[in-house]
């Protein structure tokens, strides 16, 4: 059994991660720490485990092999470096940290300790994404020119996100920092190395963070990616569009994947729905548990370099938004 401590219930996904860990039947949740002791103590009681108000004492426990970090984004650097130095395997909610410089500090601690590190990029596991990746790599769409990914909900306009979600000192940003993570890491996964970023955002209903955001990313191969996200979107499906010189792919959540290439058009002039999609990968947190127990290290696509690549896109997109200028993405 892998013995895991939950580090904070701040993130809205924290409860879900705890459920997923226990569902594996390979994990025992032994302790909870939270920067808000009252919240943490209540959660620990429901989980049937210990609450520890002192993070260093929790990390020193012999019944903690690994941690699941759901702390405020701005606390990640401190919390994760301390966890790594204590020799605890790390699963973390995105984004890893607010800047690439902070990510490098975490990377150094993780590398020196040799612990397993996994970041939560769940959308990479989706069959539609795996299908798109395979066909791009096979050249079926020709030269990919444009990719658009939209991930949005009505968390602000529908008034269901918690008020603390808009405390910039904790979250470091709004829709772009939270929901925008998923389109950004998928754009990099599908298109490769980014070279320029332009970010646009606003706060239509007046919360202290961005509620509505678009990032336009130019990639080294010439493709232009668009990441759309919002906390103000009514009934907005997750959308993936891929446009190439010899093909197109369209998908919205709740619907079928459709695609067309110059090859398929020889037999059928319309769009095609594949008979079968690739199998969905296990969720990142399940792969984390197996990697820790099997000693196999970070699963492909969910490791430190992937986490830093996302942080780089986010950091530069916010710099662009704040300065009104396109930013060159540098290593």
> If you compute the radius of gyration of the chain from its CA atoms, what whole number of angstroms results?
20
Name the 3-class secondary structure at 213. Answer: strand
pLDDT on residue 269: 87
H-assigned helices in the chain:
14-23, 37-47, 55-59, 76-85, 100-113, 127-137, 168-171, 175-178, 181-191, 284-294, 304-323
> Is the pTM higher than 0.85?
yes
For the segment 235-286, what is each residue's pLDDT rounded down to a tens digit?
999 999 999 999 999 999 999 999 999 999 988 889 999 999 999 999 999 9
For the segment 10-64, what is each residue's pLDDT rounded down to a tens digit?
999 999 999 999 999 999 999 999 999 999 999 999 999 999 999 999 999 999 9
Enumerate domains of the chain plus CATH numbers: 2-115 (3.40.50.720), 123-281+312-328 (3.30.360.10)
DSSP state of 272: B
Confidence check: pLDDT of 214 > 90: yes
The Cα 95–Cα 152 span in angstroms is 17
Phi, psi of 150 (to 5 degrees): -120, 130
Split at pLDDT 50, 70, 90, the class of 331 is: confident
pLDDT on residue 268: 85
For the segment 119-131, what is each residue's pLDDT rounded down to a tens digit?
999 999 999 999 9
Q: For residue 261, which of 250, 277, 275, 276 has the smallest C-alpha distance?
A: 250
The Cα 66–Cα 46 span in angstroms is 20
Q: CA 141, 147, 148, 151: dihedral to nearest 10 degrees? A: 100
Q: What percent of the chain has pLDDT over 70?
A: 100
């Amino acid at each position: 059994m892998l013995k895991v401590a939950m580090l904070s219930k701040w993130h809205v996904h924290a409860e879900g991660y705890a459920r997923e860990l226990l569902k594996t039947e390979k994990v025992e949740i032994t302790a909870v720490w939270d920067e808000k002791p009252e919240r943490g103590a209540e959660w620990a009681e429901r989980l049937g485990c210990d609450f520890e108000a002192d993070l260093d004492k929790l990390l020193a426990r012999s019944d903690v092999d690994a941690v699941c970090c759901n702390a405020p984004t701005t606390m990640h650097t401190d919390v994760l470096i301390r966890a790594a130095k204590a020799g605890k395997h790390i699963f973390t909610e995105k984004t890893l940290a607010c800047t690439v410089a902070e990510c490098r500090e975490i990377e150094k601690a993780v590398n020196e300790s040799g612990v397993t590190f996994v970041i939560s990029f769940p959308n990479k596991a989706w069959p539609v994404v795996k299908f798109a990746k395979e066909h791009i790599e096979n050249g079926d769409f020709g030269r990919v020119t444009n990719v658009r990914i939209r991930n949005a909900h009505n968390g602000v306009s529908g008034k269901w996100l918690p008020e603390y979600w808009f405390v910039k000192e904790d979250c470091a940003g709004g829709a772009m920092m939270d929901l925008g993570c998923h389109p950004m890491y998928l754009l990099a996964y599908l298109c490769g190395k980014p070279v320029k970023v332009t970010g646009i955002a606003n706060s239509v209903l007046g919360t202290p963070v961005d509620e509505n955001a678009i990032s336009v990313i130019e990639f080294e191969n010439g493709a232009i990616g668009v990441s759309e996200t919002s906390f103000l979107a009514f009934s907005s499906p997750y959308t993936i569009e891929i446009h190439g010189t010899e093909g197109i792919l369209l998908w919205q959540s709740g619907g079928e994947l459709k695609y067309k290439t110059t090859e398929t058009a020889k037999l059928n002039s319309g769009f095609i729905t594949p008979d079968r999609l690739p199998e969905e990968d296990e969720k990142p947190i399940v792969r984390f548990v197996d990697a820790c127990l099997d000693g196999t290290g970070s699963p492909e696509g969910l490791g430190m370099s992937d986490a830093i690549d996302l942080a780089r896109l986010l950091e530069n997109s916010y710099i662009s938004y704040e300065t009104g200028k396109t930013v060159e993405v540098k290593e």
